[in-house]
A and B are shown apart, each in its own frame.
Chain A
Amino acid sequence: MENHESRLSAIWNWLDQRIGLAPAISLARKKEVPVHKHSIWYYMGGMTLFLYLVQIGTGILLLIYYRPSAEEAYESVQFLMTDVKFGWLVRSIHHWAANLMIFMAFVHLVSVLFMKAYRPPRELTWFSGVILLALALAFGFTGYLLPWNELAFFATRVGTEIVGVFPFVGDFALKIARGGTDVTGATLTRFYGVHVAILPAIGFFFLGLHLLLVQKLGMSVPPSIENSGSPKRAMKFVPDFFLRDAIGWLVAVALLVTLAAFLPAHLGVKADPFAAAPAGIKPEWYFMFMFHQLKLLPAHILGIEGELVGVMAFALGGVFLFLVPFLDRNAARGKPSPLFTWIGIAILAYILIMTWLGYTADPMG
């Protein structure tokens, strides 16, 4: 036993001399998480990160069998789902973890928004977080097409059409997005490249930055807690917070395998570019509020194409969200900023109502 411990210690020392493990351990030991009535929201970021890691793991496994061409994509996924041992499990977990990850990213962003955690000096943490959410949506959009089934094909056709509404550059941008004038095998190949190489590369950079900033700046305490003068309490990140995080992750794994077993990812019918679009084409749930809003807009608003006005409004909304740390001057000065709380509530209510309407409205209406 003693011999075993001394061997481990030797390895530790060997590594420590070369890469400096001691400072990292010291940093981890020093890291603390504030404890107050809103502490639960601190777990959301870790949960999103965990689901992202699940996506990387399952995504790499899917790569082994997936073939990115219009001729083989559907068949390769079909083979994976039927003939590859646990292929169904890996794909279903990838499918459900993607949805849960985006949901958790939304929850994380909303909690940060309401806790005003974007206040100085955490503006860059907020910026990188909003970019990571946008990347998660892009991951979802590009990944949706890859099985090359009917629903994904037509949803992608509708989704990419939005790019074409921009004046002057629309046609060019549409061709870039699709790799041609229509959604074809060329679109599939470039979506694949974006999904497995470009987005992960950009994602790792911003994720690294985000985590570095969180590590450097520590957890933000909401102004209401800070100003209440209650005794400041904290718990060690390692092991206290980490063990609690791990419980959440295990619950997530249990949820993922349950969803995979009872609601495995569907494959549907292979895409046929010459077939008529099936009724009730709907995007993934996280795009539903935008999709439904664009459907509700009149053909023209003040002489401008309605769809263009809608897309521009969403783009401005994104820019507004991105710039919140600079726009919310009161919060930056440590003063109450109820306006931004109410704006947050309004945006959240709008997204929830539009999503609900999108799923319940008459498809023919």
Chain B
Amino acid sequence: MNRNMTLAAVVAVGLVLCIAPGLFAQDSSDMCIECHRALDSEPLSRQVEQFEVDIHAAAGFGCVDCHGGDASIAGPGGMDPALGFLGAPGGEEIIAVCGRCHSDAEFMRQFNPSLRVDQEAEYWTSRHGQRLAAAGDTAVATCADCHAPHGIRPASDPKSTVYPPNVASTCGRCHDDSARMGTYDIPVDQNEKYARSVHHEALVEGGDISAPTCNDCHGNHGAAPPGISWVGNVCGQCHAVMADQYEQSRHAQTFVEMGMPGCATCHSNHEILEAGDSLLGLGDGAVCAACHTEGDPGGSAAMAMRAGIDSLTVEIDEATAVLHEAEQAGMEVSAAQADMKDSNSALVMGRAAMHSFSPDAVTEALAPGREIAGASLEKGQSALQDLRVRRMGLIASVAIILVLILALVLKIRQIGSGPADSPGRA
């Protein structure tokens, strides 16, 4: 009996071991993938390949989590609307499908606790969302237009469509298209202008992925970045000192009254070039000259601020050149050279202070730099003077040494004991 029971147990275990892998395979197989992979239709089969690298696939999600239906049923039977099959969702449906998980903080916490869950709510505040909701315009961008459906990668992945250096081309897929934008009366040169900007240079050529691209000013899901009421205020997110100075200046109010776009009035919006000192004042390339003339107080203030900045620039250049000359001559001037960094910092602060449009504030910000540059110039000149004194001292020392050598030679001759004429002194 015991023997029979043992045999039965072995057979039962054997059967379980043989059948279990089959059962497991049955459970884990996704018929959507099986069938779509075999399809001749290239877009439908390509989605399967794309999904292999999708962040959702990596997290264990499958086709039915977005599209509905039943993945265990092969063929069209699994795509029965009665089973919740949505097909390819479009328009508001996409927002709802993505938002089902991405707006659920409890659910998202399991996968990425730091990911925001307000994308859907933000989206409805954006121009894209507003047109979709109000006008039922399905040509506007939804989640899938920016996030490459079936091949979604995290924004930190350089292959992602929303990786910072790729964002401009992702937006440009629609915004560079004049036929598409023509219906909205939106220009299509933003990307071209952005490509010439200092921000593009920092992001793409400099590799600084914190440099701004489209979404940093325009918001990625919402109409503007979180906490920013108007796109014109967005510059202050990074350029905080300048924005603060500007906010307290009379221009802030005046520009609003005149309907001028804050920072962009002087710096442009997409084509933001490197802001040089030439923007300030009334000369060539000066933006102040667009509204001010030499006779008005604004024009005088602009010229005074420019003169202060130019003076310190010249003083820094002069001190740097003298210190460099002294250093090249071997003089120790590294302390003065280190001080010059503070002088350069003061110049930067002076340039920032001009956003207050107050000559007094600029003069005050530049003052420490002028003091340091002056002291450093003196140290450099003193080092060069010291060098001349050293050379004179050297000539005098060598002359004295030569006299001593001459005296020794004469002494040697006087005692007449040179080796040549003193044989056998031993």
* Number of residue pairs spanning A and B whose beta carbons lie under 8 angstroms apart: 82
Return the contact of B398 from the options A32, A246, A258 (Cβ within 8 A): A258
Residue of B390, B412, B424 near A243 (CB, 8 A) is: B412
Q: How would residues 299 to 341 of chain B score, 1 for a CB under 8 Å from any chain A CB and 0 otherwise?
A: 0000000000000000000000000000000111111000000
Docked CA distance A38–B412 (Å): 20
Which residues of A lie under 8 Å from residue B401 when comparing CB positions?
250-251, 253-254
Chain A residue numbers with a CB within 8 Å of B332 are 78, 81-82, 88, 264, 267
Taking CB atoms, residues of chain A closer than 8 Å to B424 are 231-234
Whole-angstrom distance between the alpha carbons of A240 and B402 in the complex? 19
Q: Mark A236-271, 1 if CB is under 8 A from B, else 0.
A: 100110011011001101100110011110111100
- Contact between B390 and A261 (Cβ–Cβ < 8 Å)? yes
CB-based nearest B residue for A257:
B397
A239 contacts B415, CB within 8 Å? yes
Say yes or no: B419 contacts A39, CB within 8 Å.
yes
A341 to chain B, nearest CB (A): 25
* Among B334, B394, B402, B412, contact of A267 (Cβ-Cβ < 8 Å): B334
Given known pairs A233-B422, A240-B415, the reply for A247 and B408 (CB within 8 Å) is: yes
Given the complex, which residues of B lie within 8 Å of A235, measured CB to CB? Answer: 417-419, 422, 425
Residues of B within 8 A of A267 (CB): 332, 334
B256 partner residues in chain A, CB cutoff 8 A: none
- How many Å lie between the Cα of A251 and that of B390 in the bound state? 19
Residues of chain B within 8 A (CB-CB) of A258 are 394, 398
Is A35 part of the binding interface, using a Cβ–Cβ cutoff of 8 Å? yes
Interface residues of A in 108-143 (CB under 8 A from B): none
Q: Which residues of A contact B409 (CB under 8 A)?
A: 247
In the complex, are the beta carbons of A233 and B425 less than 8 A apart?
Answer: yes
Are A236 and B417 interface neighbours, CB within 8 A? yes
A233 to B405, CA, bound (A): 25
Q: Are A261 and B404 in touch, CB under 8 angstroms?
A: no
Q: How far is the CA of A254 from the CA of B419 in the complex (A)?
A: 26
Q: How many residues of B contact A (CB 8 A)?
A: 29
On chain A, the residues within 8 Å of B391 by CB distance are 261
Taking a contact as CB atoms closer than 8 A, the residue among B330, B405, B417, B425 that contacts A263 in the complex is: B330
Mark each residue of chain B from 371 to 399: 1 if its CB lies under 8 Å from any CB of chain A, else 0.
Answer: 00000000000000000001101100110
Q: What residues on B are CB-neighbors of A88 within 8 Å?
A: 332, 390
Chain A: interface secondary structure?
Answer: helix
The answer to whether B394 touches A261 (Cβ under 8 A) is yes
Nearest chain B CB to A29 CB, angstrom units: 12
Report which of A232, A236, A243 forms a contact with B411, defined as CB distance below 8 A.
A243
| Closest chain B residue to A233, Cβ basis | B423
Which residues from B are CB-within-8-Å of A253? 401
* Residues of A in contact, count (CB < 8 Å): 34
Cα A262 to Cα B391 in complex, Å, equals 8
Decide yes or no: A250 and B426 within 8 Å by CB, A78-B334, A233-B419 being known contacts. no
Q: How far is the CA of A136 from the CA of B322 in the complex (A)?
A: 39
- Find the A residue at minimum CB distance from B403: A250
The complex places the Cα of A88 from the Cα of B390 at a distance, in Å, of 10
How long is the Cα–Cα vector from A236 to B424 in the complex, in angstroms?
11
Smallest CB separation, B330 vs chain A (Å): 4
State the CA gap A203–B423 with chains docked (Å): 37
The interface centre, meaning the residue of A32, A233, A246, A263 with most chain B CB atoms within 10 A of its CB, is A233
Interface mask (A267-295 → B, CB under 8 Å = 1, otherwise 0): 11100000000000000000000000000
Q: How far is the CB of B144 from chain A (nearest CB, A)?
A: 45
| Contact status B330-A251, CB under 8 Å | no
> A233–B418 Cα gap in the complex (Å)?
11
A21–B62 CA distance with the chains assembled, in angstroms: 107
Distance (whole angstroms) from the CB of A318 to the closest CB of chain B: 35
Q: Smallest CB–CB gap between A149 and chain B, Å?
A: 10
Residue among B332, B402, B411, B425 having the largest count of chain A Cβ atoms under 10 Å? B332
**Which residues of chain B have C-beta atoms less than 8 A from A250's C-beta?**
401, 404-405, 408
B423 contacts A231, C-beta separation under 8 Å:
yes
B330 near A262: Cβ-Cβ < 8 Å? yes
A3 shortest CB reach to chain B, Å:
27
Q: Is the CB of A243 within 8 A of B334?
A: no
Contacts of B335 in A (CB 8 A): 78, 82
List of B residues within 8 angstroms of A236 by Cβ: 417, 425
B419 touches A257 (CB 8 A): no
Chain B residues near A239: list those with CB within 8 A: 411, 415, 417
- Give the one of B404, B408, B423 with max A CB within 10 A: B408
Q: What residue in chain A is nearest B401 (Cβ atoms)?
A: A254
CA distance A247 to B410 in the complex (A): 11
Q: Mark A76-92, 1 if CB is under 8 A from B, else 0.
A: 00100110000011000
Q: Is the CB of A257 within 8 A of B412?
A: no
How long is the Cα–Cα vector from A142 to B7 in the complex, in angstroms?
83
Identify the A interface with B (CB < 8 A): 32, 35, 39, 78, 81-82, 88-89, 231-236, 239-240, 243-244, 246-247, 250-251, 253-254, 257-258, 261-264, 266-269
| B residues with CB within 8 A of A | 330-335, 390-391, 393-394, 397-398, 401-402, 404-405, 408-409, 411-412, 415, 417-419, 422-426
Listed A/B pairs (18) with beta-carbon separation below 8 Å:
A39-B419, A82-B333, A88-B390, A231-B423, A234-B424, A235-B419, A240-B422, A250-B405, A254-B397, A254-B398, A254-B401, A258-B394, A258-B398, A261-B391, A261-B393, A261-B394, A264-B330, A269-B334
Q: Which 4 A-B pairs have the closest CB atoms?
A: A81-B332, A35-B419, A261-B394, A234-B426
